[in-house]
Structure 1
């Protein structure tokens, strides 16, 4: 309840995760000053999410880049990518805190970060869903960090039912770029309910885009009209 939050904030004010200054009522995790210093993804290919040279901003200040050399090499099933931050500190450290430290509250708040940063950029969609884990990985880890992000973004629990991960695959970070695309082939299955729907998939980190692309393929195979992907951070290829 809101009055409980106000009461707790009055007597036990939260502090900025970076500078330790007390947070204002509308601040999440960090103060307004530190928020502006976070490693926002300044320029990237909107088609595939690939980070681009920041010098291009000077040449194309008001023109989104919707195609790049990386797009040429891949068959992409998602229609557009949205990236909030570069995978750099402190964002990269916070993602690890969620994934390996099991900081559920931080995962939820990073989802609010996503909404604060990208909500006005994404098109209207019918469904917003987290990228699912396999049942085995979910049992091993105990939670899905993408579910926490989506929960924070929506401010309500997201549904599990529209997309399933039906194949337990190797961890992507252990593989080469080529192996990553092979590793996740046919790993997802969507339900018939996504037919003629526009869908947004949320995940924590994108590197090659292979996993999100395969999830998008499953949605398109079941008749989804449009599939968009949104990630908290993008690491370099």
Structure 2
């Protein structure tokens, strides 16, 4: 009975997650290829992206070739409050984020950035994405090494001069603090709940945009994380 009750609680939380008023979804943007190419040595690398509700961020990157793992979680804050029901109150310093492991021989960091700004997050929205409002839904790039930091700074500067957005870019480059994986029911959420209303309205269009705009990077199968 306790296990059943726990499952019911997890389900109720999942249904209430990442919810907000019914407003128009953002249109994808054809961000340019980066002029500062990432120079990454061989071997798997880690990157952290925050772009609103982590369901969609994880969903998009789980369809990118070369991504080996995508974990939804919380960046920043502390371990004690890194729990979904606390983070969504807006009283912590966490951001809903996704930690990905990728092979730079297949997809470089600058290409991941291009995908992020094209189909994942609107960089002109401060402390919100789509219907979700609060600092925990901020868009942020979290470099894991000096090369990623240099590439991220150069690309945001490049986008700022591109004229693609009428408003200024507010996506921040945040220093890495700590990453805490979210509860199990948040992992692979799009794959587990393809008919969920939020997924259909907000996140499925992002994956469709990835397929259309980045066909060489798109992977049809959803990468389910084993970690």
- The two structures have a TM-score, normalised by structure 1, of 0.29
Tell me which structure has the larger Cα radius of gyration.
1
- The two structures have a TM-score, normalised by structure 2, of 0.30
Q: With CA pairs under 8 Å and 6+ residues apart, which has the higher RCO, 1 or 2?
A: 2
